[in-house]
Amino acid sequence: MPVRRRLPGDRLDRRTPRARRRPRSAPGELAAHPHQVNAYASWTPTEGFGIHWDDHDVIVVQVEGAKRWRLYGPTRQAPMHHDVAFPEPPPEPPVADVVLNPGDVLYLPRGWWHAVTADQGTDSLYLTCGIGPDTGAHLIGWLPERLRTHGLVRADLPLHACPGAQEAYVESLHKLLMDALDEPDLIGRFAAARDAEGLGRLHPLRPSSTASLRNRTSRCG
Helix, strand, or coil (residue 139): helix
One digit per residue, pLDDT tens: the chain, 221 residues? 333 444 454 544 454 555 455 444 455 555 556 778 999 998 888 777 889 999 999 999 999 999 999 999 999 998 887 788 888 989 889 999 999 999 999 999 999 999 999 999 999 999 999 998 889 999 999 998 899 999 999 999 999 999 999 999 999 999 999 999 999 999 999 988 888 875 455 554 445 655 554 444 333 33
pLDDT at position 143: 92
Distance of CA 137 to the CA centre of its chain: 13
pLDDT at position 199: 47
At the top level of CATH, the class of 6-133+199-214 is mainly beta
Full DSSP string of 167-214: HHHHHHHHHHHHHHHTSTTHHHHHHHHHHHT---BPPP-PPEEHHHHH
Count the alpha carbons within 13 Å of 29 in the hemisphere toward its beta carbon: 1
* Euclidean distance between CA atoms 97 and 115, whole angstroms: 10
pLDDT at position 49: 80
Do residues 79 and 124 make contact, with C-beta atoms less than 8 angstroms apart?
no
Least Cα distance to 127 among 3, 4, 29, 15 occurs for 15
User: CA–CA distance from 72 to each of 52, 110, 142, 210 (Å)?
Assistant: 10, 12, 34, 12
Give, in degrees to the nearest 5, the angle at Cα 100 between 41 and 11. Answer: 40
pLDDT at position 205: 46
pLDDT at position 20: 52
Do residues 36 and 2 make contact, with C-beta atoms less than 8 angstroms apart?
no
* Euclidean distance between CA atoms 44 and 6, whole angstroms: 8
* Euclidean distance between CA atoms 208 and 113, whole angstroms: 9
Question: What pTM, to 2 d.p., does this model score?
Answer: 0.70
